Amino acid sequence: MSKRIVIALGGNALGTNLPEQMAAVQITARAIVDLIADGHKVVICHGNGPQVGMIQNAMTELTRSDPEKYIPCPLSVCVAMSQGYIGYDLQNALREEMLNRGINKGAATVLTQVEVDPNDPAFLNPTKPIGSFMTEAEARRMERERDYRVVEDAGRGWRRVVASPEPKAIIEIDTIRSLVNTDHVVVACGGGGIPVFPTGRNHLKGAAAVIDKDFAAAVLAKQLDADMLIILTAVEKVAIHFGRPDQQWLDRLTPEDARRYIEAGEFAPGSMLPKVEAALSFVESKPGRQALITLLEKAREGIEGRTGTRIVS
């Protein structure tokens, strides 16, 4: 049956530079257009961790090289830049793949703002990794030279962390809904959305943060009344005891099981934990909603119930 699906696509799946990204979106587009060919309405929310870090590093270097000519670039503006250039490649790859298969649909990127609470405690405790992986020595140097907060990221290296407040609402939701209702493929909430908060007189002010794209995708899916949230990651299924001899892959998770595993510390922060929490949030928001966590190339099989971890109430 045709479903309205929101897909959360990891920023690391898009490469760390422009040539890598242009190659990666071709693979991504083929997997997504498989779902479109099956009759599903698809909205894509992508990450931007490597890309937004690259953009801010480049802008910082410009400012340092000529501080009279270049002014510091706010993190919210860097998020907007990442939305634009990732969306540009992604929507073009989707359009090309659809036309190659005789599918006549429009693809559009919506520059999306997401409301956050300026008093969110996340602003006092940065946890969201951005930018490229570093050695510990490189990370410590960034601490000294640029006053970065750095952490070790799930055994993969060291990364800068920034604030990651909870998304409250999608500002451009009416525009996104109109495009979906007219059978467009939409790229929205890129990088988790541009974090903003109201300041009076209808003005929205950008916040120095990067919203987790999985949580933003869950909010987007709720507001669009989607049937399914698909969170794509680097493994085919969710596991408990991950990386240990007694590792166990999970085909199905109930909310009760998910909470029990979360409390037991089974899922790594900054890695699988936000994915499970976002899926849980969506599934519990309305009866009949389902979430799926799996690999990009397994999304079609996951929808058919043949692989992945399905979260159901």
The neighbouring-strand residues paired with 152 are 158
**Alpha carbons 166 and 238: distance in angstroms, whole number:** 23
CA 162 to chain centre: 15
Q: What angle do CA 153, 159, 165 make, to 5 degrees?
A: 85
12 is catalytic: yes
Q: Which of 10, 15, 131, 213 is catalytic?
A: 213
213 is catalytic: yes
202 is catalytic: no
Q: Residue 294 corresponds to which tokens in the numbers above?
A: 């799996």
Q: Which of 275, 298, 302, 308 is catalytic?
A: 275
Closest to 293 (Cα-Cα) out of 244, 242, 245, 252: 252
Q: Which residue has the tokens 């979906």?
A: 180
237 is catalytic: no
Q: Which of 11, 15, 49, 53 is catalytic?
A: 11
Q: Which of 10, 87, 128, 298 is catalytic?
A: 128
275 is catalytic: yes
Q: Which of 3, 12, 105, 206 is catalytic?
A: 12
**Alpha carbons 235 and 63: distance in angstroms, whole number:** 39
As annotated, the active-site residues are: 11-12, 128, 213, 275
